[in-house]
């Protein structure tokens, strides 16, 4: 594929809406979502990416939405990890306001549930 064909293909993919199959494929890859509120003057994509990557995660998608009088941004970050606790703590430590977070339930929840059950069993002995 030539460079021109690649560019044309990327532009077409960007301008066309996602098909159902593409959307499902993207959704299956994404394990978690964090939405943070950032003052426009403090928004730095490199810092957000650094915080995510320092927590052993990768940014799969990032969307920025100006809010109100454009002095504040909502930044939606989709990650590839199921447990975002460390990332949430890092965002809060660096002064970002976490507005919303979502994690798909899975292995992490099961492990935590097992550990809590073991602790309660031990305490009841």
Tell me the per-residue pLDDT of 62-111, one tens digit each, with 9 for 90 and over.
888 887 777 888 888 888 888 888 899 999 999 999 988 887 765 556 66
The CATH class that applies to domain 29-124 reads alpha beta
Question: What is residue 124's predicted lDDT score, i.e. its pLDDT?
Answer: 76
- Domain boundaries, given as residue ranges, for the chain: 29-124
Q: What is the DSSP letter of 40?
A: G
Give the pLDDT mean for 16-40. 70
Q: Which two tokens stand for residue 34?
A: 């964090």
- Mean of the per-residue pLDDT values of the chain: 79
How far, CA to CA in Å, does 115 sit from each of 9, 82, 104, 112, 125? Answer: 49, 18, 19, 5, 16
* Residue among 50, 39, 42 at smallest CA distance from 74: 39
Q: Is pLDDT above 70 for 48?
A: yes
* Cα gap 104→90, rounded to integer Å: 20
Question: What is residue 63's predicted lDDT score, i.e. its pLDDT?
Answer: 80
Q: Is pLDDT above 90 for 45?
A: yes
């Amino acid at each position: 594929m030539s460079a021109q064909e690649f560019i044309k293909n990327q532009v077409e993919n960007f301008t066309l809406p996602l098909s159902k199959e593409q959307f499902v494929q993207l959704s299956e890859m994404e394990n978690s979502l964090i939405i943070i509120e950032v003052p426009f003057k403090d928004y730095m994509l490199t810092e957000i990416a650094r915080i995510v990557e320092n927590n052993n995660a990768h940014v799969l998608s990032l969307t920025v939405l100006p809010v109100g009088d454009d002095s504040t941004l909502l930044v939606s970050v989709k990650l590839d990890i199921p447990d975002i606790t460390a990332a949430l703590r890092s965002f809060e430590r660096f002064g970002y306001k976490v507005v919303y977070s979502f994690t798909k339930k899975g292995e992490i929840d099961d492990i935590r549930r097992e550990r809590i059950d073991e602790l309660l069993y031990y305490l009841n002995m």
